[in-house]
Structure 1
Amino acid sequence: MMLDRPVGQEPIRFHAPHMPPSTYDAVASALGSKHLRAGGRFSRKARALVGAHVGHDRVFLTNSCTSALEVAALALDLGPEDEIIVPSFTFCATATAFARKGARIVLADIDPNTMMVSAETIAARITNRTRAVVVVHYGGAAARMDGITALCAHHGIAVVEDAAQAFGSKQTGRAVGTAGLFAAYSFHETKIISSGHGGALVVNSDKPVLRERVEELLARGTNYPAFARREVSHYEWTSVSSSFEMPDLNAALLYGQLKHTREILFKSRAIWAFYEKRLNRLPVTILRPDEATQTNGYSFAFLCADRSCARRILEKSEQLGLGLQSHYKPLHLSRFAGQILAGHCPAASDSWERLIRLPVHMDLCAEDAGRICDFLTSELG
């Protein structure tokens, strides 16, 4: 039966970027400065705020989270003989950033209760060619990093955190994105803090050589940073790289939102808690953060009992304009899977089509959140 949205009710958007007044002020100031490229005043200000969140200043703004991961891959100096373990359930950019270096991508299965890798699923994929493990923190929650970092340290394997969805989240009191050697945040329009399109690379090592390597890569593969500090008399080409930095205009947009991080996190977490309270008795598996993690509230998601139930809920939601969404297909089921070491990922295969995500954003009002919960209660209760 075809359902119609009630007359006068606007469709609920799954996501809407937040634009506080300070955002407009910062962008106008950046335009007035006529310094729109990377490295300007707002780049420094935004970097300082991200640095305050992670607890150190080894933060570099990039034009995307994908670029941040690519810089990490370049800094690790990966090659065709190296294997990189990546979760099968993730956006393709997680793997692409390392595949572009020629590394062999090995896909790991997930824990369906979290949709994230664990120490156990990673251990099943480690070989003597494994150089790095990429951990994706899904939905604003976090993978259990203590077991993963201990496992990787034992094998001498680097850990890279894809924390695209996790800016503002904490685990054991620390910012998510501070446990691995590298971490990447996303500030894409769809994320909780946005610069329209952007990201950040976090280097969680105080070794000067690693910081200098990242600086050269961000300078398009030159030693220009050393030249700017008057450490050399000229600058020159030092390695293969690309244009990865965030322009100052985007940094101004980012800075305007970072100043409101506290209120954005407060509302996102409040929406998450509202959903959890209203829906916790339904016969679904809610993706909850573990007891050590404080989520940023970026995503509220659950698994239906089966695929047909999820399809029914999504179809009816679309007809009613309620904004519910599924998510990406696991990489081992993609058309490109034949080009990588896909392996067998039964948990990801079983769970991805049962996944449903609810809208969480600053423009979502209590009435709309209530409509969503009433719909789900009537369909699943």
Structure 2
Amino acid sequence: MSENLWRGTINQLDPYIPGQAAKDVENQGSLKEVFRLATNENPLGASPKAVAAMQQAVLESHYYPDLTSLNLRRKLGNLHGIDPENYVTGNGADNIITLVIASFVNPGDEVVYCTPTFSEYHKNTLLVGGTPVEIPTTKDHKFDLEAILDAITDKTKLVFICNPNNPTGTIVEDHELREFFRRLPKHVVGVLDEAYGEFINIPNYSTGVEFMKEGLPVITIRTFSKLYGLAGMRVGYAFAKDEFIRPLQAVREPFACNRVAEAGAIAALEDEEHKQNVLTSNKQEMDRLIKEFCSLGYSVEETHTNFLFIDMKQDTNKLSAELFKQGFIIRPCAIWGYPTFARISIGSAEQNTKLLQALKEIRNKEASQV
């Protein structure tokens, strides 16, 4: 059989399972309107300036993009006050995760992180022959920094901290995170996944930008998929001190960030008004949904993202199927070991109103059948 030719780790890998695409559901012909609240996309879309820049860039799509995304790296450097040479760009944050693990992990090396969290840490560690070391999150669904430190051995090469964490939306105190990176042994590199970092709404909260400037041993990963609404364009990046960023640049595939995507990302960074509109809308709708969900008897974890992690006090696989009949796609969390929880993206005001109405109708229907 041809499977005998496969690399030995292939059978250990679970494919990434995204939320079902709205167009796929619509094309089935059963629903005229679909609300995709499972993949944490930006309901306001990309900046109009970014859209215009991408449309213009399409006219030059017969040219290769800049090999290293120099203009984007310069724009990011101006934003963060970091030398552009300390950045690397890629085809989404997941591609950056692949580069980080490929750059540092040899067969037999360990990669430590808490779970539940983003599945690509596990997959990419196995792919290079490394050993994933998974630590449970705390009872309040936060990364357990002390347990991670206790799990580090001579074989440990990387530790991943997803902050805010996906799927729980929780964060750890920034002073605890700073101390954690200071305590890492010299043979271990910290990786801070801040895919949702721009949504943290805590005054003076330190992020990877501050940690890098303080010389801490950390690689920070970010994306344009969430706040900036460019999920379909796949733009991610990392920044770190020179000795950490050089191996990523070495293993990065040529032209990893395409011309259209780079144009959109640069323009998105320049549209501060759209960014603030997204953050304001997200906060308003988050507060409204939390209040309404609590009135329905659900428990909602404190979040610092554009999604909610909710204990809906019932089998959310079954509830998800009922919502699907009305055109709503949410993310049941049984796959992470939380059968009564769901991760629900914060949609537009209209989407959220319709979701709440659908949930109330399902509840009333269930009550009438008792």
TM-score, normalised with respect to structure 1 = 0.69
Structure 1 CA distance for aligned equivalents of residues 149 and 243 of structure 2: 30
Structure 2 CA distance for aligned equivalents of residues 280 and 48 of structure 1: 45
Structure 1 CA distance for aligned equivalents of residues 182 and 301 of structure 2: 28
1:22 equivalent in alignment to 2:49? yes
Structure 1 residues 326 and 288, CA, compared in 2 at 3 Å: closer, same or farther? Answer: same
Cα deviation per residue 1:15-57 (whole Å; 9 max; x = unaligned)?
A: 665144323310122123457534289x455445544554424
Structure 1 residues 326 and 309, CA, compared in 2 at 3 Å: closer, same or farther? Answer: closer
Task: Output the amino acid matched with 2:311.
Answer: L
- Unaligned ranges ≥5, structure 1: 1-7, 219-241, 290-294, 331-348
Structure 1 residues 102 and 199, CA, compared in 2 at 3 Å: closer, same or farther? Answer: farther
Q: Is the 8 A contact 2:301 2:309 kept in 1?
A: yes
Identify the match of residue 360 of structure 1 among 334, 346, 351: 346
Q: How far does residue 149 in structure 1 lie from its aligned partner after superposition?
A: 4.4
Secondary structure in structure 1 of the residue aligned to 2:342: strand
Identify the match of residue 273 of structure 1 among 287, 296, 312: 287
Q: Is the 8 A contact 1:86 1:135 kept in 2?
A: yes
Matches within 5 A, 1:187-202: 187-188=224-225, 193-202=229-238
Give the corresponding residue for 1:203. 239
1:302 equivalent in alignment to 2:310? yes
Q: Is the 8 A contact 1:136 1:143 kept in 2?
A: no
1:186 equivalent in alignment to 2:192? no
- Unaligned ranges ≥5, structure 2: 1-30, 212-216
Structure 1 residues 363 and 50, CA, compared in 2 at 3 Å: closer, same or farther? Answer: farther
Q: How far does residue 362 in structure 1 lie from its aligned partner after superposition?
A: 4.7
Identify the match of residue 88 of structure 2 among 41, 60, 73: 60
Structure 2 CA distance for aligned equivalents of residues 172 and 122 of structure 1: 27
Structure 2 CA distance for aligned equivalents of residues 44 and 378 of structure 1: 56
Give the corresponding residue for 2:264. 253
Matches within 5 A, 1:1-381: 10-14=33-37, 18-34=45-61, 36-39=63-66, 43-51=69-77, 54-57=80-83, 58-75=86-103, 77-114=104-141, 116-137=142-163, 138-139=165-166, 141-156=170-185, 157-169=188-200, 173-174=204-205, 176-178=207-209, 179=211, 181-188=218-225, 193-205=229-241, 208-218=242-252, 242-243=253-254, 245-258=256-269, 259=271, 260-289=274-303, 295=304, 297-305=305-313, 308-327=314-333, 329-330=335-336, 349=337, 352-362=338-348, 364-365=350-351, 367-368=353-354, 370-371=356-357, 374-375=360-361
Q: Is the 8 A contact 1:118 1:148 kept in 2?
A: no
Structure 1 residues 310 and 254, CA, compared in 2 at 3 Å: closer, same or farther? Answer: same
Structure 1 CA distance for aligned equivalents of residues 280 and 157 of structure 2: 38
Structure 1 residues 244 and 378, CA, compared in 2 at 3 Å: closer, same or farther? Answer: farther
Q: How far does residue 62 in structure 1 lie from its aligned partner after superposition?
A: 0.6
Secondary structure in structure 2 of the residue aligned to 1:255: helix
Structure 1 CA distance for aligned equivalents of residues 349 and 76 of structure 2: 24
Q: Is the 8 A contact 1:66 1:97 kept in 2?
A: no
Structure 1 CA distance for aligned equivalents of residues 109 and 246 of structure 2: 23
Comparing 141-150 with 314-323, greater Cα deviation is found at 141-150
Structure 1 residues 353 and 366, CA, compared in 2 at 3 Å: closer, same or farther? Answer: closer
Equivalent pairs counted in the alignment come to: 318
Structure 2 CA distance for aligned equivalents of residues 277 and 159 of structure 1: 36
Secondary structure in structure 1 of the residue aligned to 2:261: helix
Q: RMSD across aligned C-alpha pairs, in angstroms?
A: 3.6
| Identical pairs, percent | 13
Q: Is the 8 A contact 1:82 1:131 kept in 2?
A: yes
Q: Is the 8 A contact 1:88 1:110 kept in 2?
A: yes
TM-score, normalised with respect to structure 2 = 0.71
Q: How far does residue 213 in structure 1 lie from its aligned partner after superposition?
A: 3.9
In the TM superposition, structure 1's runs of 4+ consecutive aligned residues that sit over 6 Å from their partners are: none
